[in-house]
Copies of this chain bind each other. A is one copy, B any other.
Amino acid sequence: MQFLVRVSPRCLILQSEVQSFVERCMVAVGTKPSHASSLAEVLVDGDRRGHYSHGLNRMDMYVKDIQTGICAKDGEPSIVKESAATALVNGNNLLGPVVGNFCMDLAIKKAKEAGIGWVVAHGSNHFGIAGYYSMQALKENMIGMSYTNTSPLVVPTRARECTLGTNPISVAAPAADGDSFVLDMATSAVALGKVELHHRRGDIIPEGWGCDSQGKLSTDPGKVLSGGGLVPIGGCEATGGYKGFGLGLMVEVFCGILAGSQYSRHIRTWKVTDRVADLGQCFVAINPENFAPGFNDRMSDLLNLHRDLQPAEHGQPVLAPGDPERMSIQRCDELGGIPYHLSVVQHMNKFAKSIGVHPLLPSDRPVPE
């Protein structure tokens, strides 16, 4: 294939082709087509936003979840209990994006009528980037929030054992003229993928990312990955790690504890799919129209006054939450596709072949180095 003989280690793939490829793979193993589309949209969005660890890279995990039957391939989420402003949803063990879209749509609908919608789900699965759901609210000029619990990877302050997931928080808020604030962050200091990357390269990691099996901060990624774990935002106790730990627990309060799903140490081990995930998730929409007039303009001022600050280092501008992702999307749009490492494409196509699916086709446009 032509792309294998390129000099560049990367190639460009049309967004529509990535979307279609994920759909092809998911449908091939029996996923309901609309569910396959929902998942594909979240994964494509992850990659376009530059969060490759939450995009195409993870597709085989979702395919396997459907193949093994550990995740439901058909059905719809159901509302267990609701009021004008709240709902408890059973995700019925469907793909995370199916549950997430259902809940976020419901939260937005409630916020239109009641000013706020607070929806929690049990019986869910991995839903991709949290920001995908919070950002749905932007389309209705609302604040959106999404939270999920996840398999234990984080060691609490003072402990030596993983009991919390990377439990992300996402909050999106609309500014004027299509601008927005998009916070989308794990409550661990970094993502596991960053530690894995340093390990593969043989690099040490900064102090404050992870700890060894004795709960001591370590700069050796090998120790973090074998028996240790990530640490909460803030690093050690002296630098405020207990705050990150508290935020990770807060996410559990909103997700597993409110929803009645699995939580904390009771969630299955990361990448071990011996039983259903039964994740807890939380989705919120808030209508600024129920509060003070002028929300979007104040939001724009808040973002721009930060972007316009004099940077500490020349060439390193102050960025508002969501700006790095906006730059990544802009680059994809300019290139006319999403850049991927060839190794990812090769891996995907080997996988596609194993399930009898037409391969992912790179475009013939070059990726500038």
Contacts and interface: CB of A to CB of B under 8 A. Distances in A.
Nearest to A260: B292
A159 B306 contact: yes
A249 interface: yes
Contacts of A263: 298, 302
Contacts of A257: 173, 295, 298-299, 302
Interface stretch (A5-13, A92-100, A235-243, A353-361): A235-243
A178 interface: no
B208 A286 contact: no
B114 A239 contact: no
B157 A318 contact: yes
B253 A143 contact: yes
Interface stretch (A31-39, A51-59, A62-70, A209-217): A209-217
The interface centre, meaning the residue of A86, A185, A240, A309 with most chain B CB atoms within 10 A of its CB, is A240
Contact of A321 (B206, B249, B316): B249
Interface in A110-139: 114-116, 118, 120, 122
A30 to B, nearest CB: 30
Contacts of A208: 208, 235, 239-240
A142 B81 CA distance: 17
Contact of A83 (B240, B290, B313): B290
A36 to B, nearest CB: 29
A309 B163 contact: yes
A294 interface: yes
A291 B253 contact: no
Contacts of A160: 309-312
B189 A239 contact: yes
A163 B309 CA distance: 9
Given A190-B240, A209-B239, A257-B302, A183 B250 contact: yes
Nearest to A215: B312
Given A234-B233, A312-B214, A116 B86 contact: yes
Contact of A260 (B122, B185, B240, B298): B298
B259 A291 contact: yes
Contacts of A189: 234, 239-240
A249 B183 contact: yes
A23 interface: no
Contact of A235 (B183, B216, B235, B320): B235
A339 interface: no
B158 A86 contact: no
A155 to B, nearest CB: 8
A318 B158 contact: yes
A258 interface: yes
A114 B83 CA distance: 7
A81 to B, nearest CB: 7
Interface in A183-209: 183, 185, 189-190, 206-209
Contacts of A173: 253, 257
A88 interface: yes
Q: Which among A83, A120, A310, A312 has the highest number of chain B CB atoms within 10 Å?
A: A312
- Select the residue from A159, A163, A207, A239 with max chain B CB neighbours within 10 A: A239
Given A116-B118, A242-B321, 9 more contacts: A156-B306, A158-B317, A159-B312, A161-B310, A163-B309, A206-B239, A208-B208, A208-B240, A215-B311
